[in-house]
Each structure stands twice: as structure tokens, then as C-alpha cells.
């Protein structure tokens, strides 16, 4: 077979440095669009983006030649530079070191998209740390089961 087929889907989550509430409502949508541009330049696709003041969720489709670690590093480096160059951003912006990434099956894309779209609602009742802990527990419990549960979403 001459061609390679892949469908690598990732749910990537990362926070602002020290989880400070630095992501402004004034430029949040522009940030998501900018991240989409960074990903397109790397031949990846941003399927969904959502954020609150202290962290970002991305649903990304990537090519197999690009490691998700490298892709995430590029997104974080370039987007923080873009934010720091904005005239309407005061102070120094930085992303926290590290990130979380989860593989997503095609059948779960609608549920993950919906979850990412509803970040503001979701975080009215659950903190970033509570959310991430629940995601990790869900992943751990799924390691012992044959089926995926979307209970956390």
C-alpha cells in the first residue's frame, strides 16, 4: 500500500503558569484562532478549543510524523509569545511546564467537542485540579475495562 492512513486524535490540556487567571475574555477567541494557525502550519487540525481563565483544552488531529510533545511545545511557545506581544495584555504571560494529553477515539469526538465547548459551565462547579483528577481517574479505571466511559465529560 503506497499511502499511509492515520486518525490520531488528542485531547490536550495545559494551564497558565501557577494556574493564574491570565486568559482574558477580550482575546480568548483570538487565542483559539491563533492556536489553530500554529497547528495548521504543522499540518495538524484544531477540531475544538475551549478555555477558562487558567487553562486550555484542545481537540487536535495530528499527523503521525509529528510527536504530540513537539506539537504541544510549539503551541505553548508560540501562543505565549503572541499573548505577550499583545498591547492589551499587561504583565508577563507564561504557560505552566507540562501538559496532559489523552487519545480520543473517533466515536468519542462529539462528546469531547461538547465537553470542550462547555468549559465555562463546567468550571462553575469544578476546579481545574478537580477536573484533571477526574480525567486521570477515568483513564485509570478504563485501563481495566474494554470499553470507554465518558462519565467525566
Q: Per-residue confidence at 27, pLDDT binned at 50, 70, 90?
A: very high
For residue 16, the 8-state DSSP code is: B
Q: How far apart are CA 69 and CA 101, in angstroms?
A: 9
148-151: long-range contacts at Cβ-Cβ below 8 A with a sequence spacing of 24 or more? 148/105, 148/108, 150/108, 150/111
- CB burial of residue 25 (10 Å; 0-12, 13-18, 19+): exposed
Q: Per-residue confidence at 11, pLDDT binned at 50, 70, 90?
A: very high
Q: What is the mean pLDDT of the chain?
A: 87
Q: How far apart are CA 131 and CA 126, in angstroms?
A: 6
At 48-97, the pLDDT tens digits run: 999 999 999 999 999 999 999 999 999 999 999 999 999 988 889 999 99
For residue 88, the 8-state DSSP code is: T
Interaxial angle between packed helices 68-84 and 28-41, expressed in degrees from 0 to 180 and rounded to the nearest 10: 140
At 89-141, the pLDDT tens digits run: 888 999 999 999 999 999 999 999 998 998 877 666 767 677 777 766 766 66
pLDDT at 3: 81
Short-list 58, 57, 66, 56, CA closest to 8:
66
Amino acid at each position: 500500500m503506497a499511502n499511509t492512513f492515520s486518525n490520531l486524535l488528542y485531547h490536550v490540556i495545559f494551564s497558565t503558569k501557577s494556574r493564574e487567571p491570565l486568559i482574558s475574555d477580550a482575546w480568548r477567541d483570538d487565542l483559539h484562532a491563533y492556536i489553530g494557525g500554529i497547528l495548521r502550519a504543522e499540518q495538524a487540525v484544531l477540531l475544538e478549543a475551549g478555555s477558562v481563565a487558567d487553562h486550555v483544552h484542545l481537540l487536535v488531529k495530528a499527523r503521525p510524523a509529528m510527536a504530540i510533545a513537539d506539537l504541544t511545545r510549539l503551541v505553548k511557545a508560540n501562543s505565549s509569545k503572541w499573548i505577550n506581544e499583545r498591547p492589551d495584555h499587561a504583565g508577563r504571560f507564561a504557560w505552566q511546564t507540562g501538559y496532559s494529553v489523552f487519545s480520543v477515539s473517533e466515536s468519542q469526538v462529539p462528546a469531547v467537542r461538547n465537553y470542550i465547548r462547555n468549559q465555562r459551565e463546567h468550571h462553575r462547579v469544578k476546579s481545574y485540579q478537580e477536573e484533571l483528577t477526574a480525567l486521570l481517574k477515568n483513564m485509570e479505571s478504563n485501563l481495566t475495562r474494554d470499553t470507554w466511559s465518558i462519565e467525566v465529560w
